[in-house]
A and B are shown apart, each in its own frame.
Chain A
Amino acid sequence: MNPLVLSLLILSLGLGTTLTFASSHWLLAWMGLEINTLAIIPLMAQHHHPRAVEATTKYFLTQATAAALILFASMTNAWITGQWGIQQMDQTIPTTMLTIALMLKLGLAPAHFWLPEVLQGLDLTTGLIMSTWQKLAPLALLVQIPNLNSNLLIFIGLISTMVGGWGGLNQTQLRKVMAYSSIAHLGWMILIVSFNSKLTLLALSMYILMTTSMFLTLKINNSLDMNTLATSWAKTPILTALTPLILLSLGGLPPLSGFMPKWLILQELTKQELPLTATIAALSALLSLYFYLRLSYAMALTTSPNTTINTAPWRLKTNQNSIPLSTSIALTAMLLPMTPTILAI
């Protein structure tokens, strides 16, 4: 892509999210979300491949619907209460409509059906941007709304964790696996947002870290499905040894840093007298853990029966910058002892 156009689109992505972060008026927040959608559409469709164009069309339709619903909910609130403040939205009907609109925008169950197909149609870099950056602005809006309907949010959260777990079990395409992993992690974030929104932001930042590591790993190995992942051990042996750490961190196992958000969320749910919710959420995390384990088996713990074309391929120096990957892997594996420091922020 023309570097000028590429820099314009990436700067617009940054502008849209920053605008939504900085706004206290619903119209401005909606504009930030629209700028984000419009900026990522050319990035998604840049290859003009039929699958990419189809993914872009589906993404555009869902995001446009969700943005219109957000504007309608804030308009209804304005007609009832006479003001447009984000943090002064306390009527139940607009708040519920807004929750549903943000559910559609983020890809939470039961409005998650677009996410695996859209992510499947994108290349890995754009998929990374869509999985991580595009989740920031809607969640920033969600944590600011004052009285959220906690029953609805707990329902959405539990359904999302279960759908993310069960949906990912039957997948061989890695982008679809990452899509279902995204649904499950967003479910965990939504469970706790009406009780302690700091934990939502903590879970979001850990999720972004882990997903970045995973996508960059897939990009270096250039693997898009499990068979390719299984034969990529010969390309980068050190990365092959580290990828199970990323996957188990995504699964939420101690002593890796993915355990931190799940632990704190379960603790907060128990403090709020919701032990059944906490149990169901913890059990549904086992489903996701199964397919993360399957990926780490395929990549590092077993040798695939398919052979690589040569007996040992040349390990050529790749042009990709490996510093982001090394930093994010270090953080996804070793951030758990810093939990008290992170909680104090």
Chain B
Amino acid sequence: MTPTHFSVSSAFILGLMGLAFHRTHLLSALLCLEGMMLSLFIALSLWSLQLDAAGYSSSPMLMLAFSACEASAGLALLVATARTHGTDRLQSLNLLQC
């Protein structure tokens, strides 16, 4: 595994752990999601250098467009949660329990 591959993979896995273990705020989960997407963006950008092929140069931009849409949807849901539940703390998201 090349050092580049290792650093990108470890960045993604750190973000994934942060998303999986988020304890207090919804915003921290969204931040970790953004961190994961950022590591994937860097990996895709380095991918075309890895291949010495110029054809893949646009794929990071496409990926960034989609992850930006996803981030904005997440933030809109954060605002909606703050409106309905009063806070973004995860303890208050308990209306749907069995």
Contact = CB atoms under 8 A, between A and B. Distances in A.
A130 to B, nearest CB: 14
A50 B96 CA distance: 10
Interface in A90-121: 116-118, 120-121
B70 A56 contact: no
A268 interface: no
A117 B73 contact: no
A72 B97 contact: no
B98 interface: yes
B19 A65 contact: yes
Contacts of B98: 116, 170-171, 176
Interface in B65-98: 66, 69-70, 73-74, 77-78, 80-81, 83-85, 93, 95-98
Interface in B21-60: 26, 29, 33, 36-37, 40, 43-44, 47, 50-51, 59
Contact of A69 (B16, B43, B63, B95): B16
B12 to A, nearest CB: 5
Interface stretch (A31-39, A142-150, A256-264): A31-39
B72 to A, nearest CB: 9
A198 interface: no
A50 B97 contact: no
Contacts of B73: 38, 41, 60
Contact of A68 (B40, B77, B84): B40
B74 A45 contact: no
Interface residues of B, number: 39
Interface of B is mostly: helix
A71 interface: yes
Contacts of B83: 48, 53
Contacts of B19: 61, 65
Nearest to A82: B51
Contacts of A51: 95-96
A72 B39 CA distance: 9
B62 interface: yes
B81 A34 contact: no
Contacts of A60: 73-74, 77
A57 B16 contact: no
Contact of B40 (A75, A120, A176): A75
A225 interface: no
Interface of A: 27, 30-31, 34, 37-38, 41, 45, 48-51, 53-58, 60-61, 64-65, 67-69, 71-72, 75-76, 78-79, 82, 116-118, 120-121, 170-171, 176
Given A50-B95, A53-B84, A54-B95, 17 more contacts: A41-B77, A50-B85, A51-B95, A53-B81, A53-B83, A54-B85, A57-B78, A57-B81, A58-B93, A58-B96, A60-B73, A64-B33, A68-B40, A69-B16, A78-B47, A79-B5, A121-B96
Interface of B: 2, 5, 8-9, 12, 16, 19-20, 26, 29, 33, 36-37, 40, 43-44, 47, 50-51, 59, 62-63, 66, 69-70, 73-74, 77-78, 80-81, 83-85, 93, 95-98
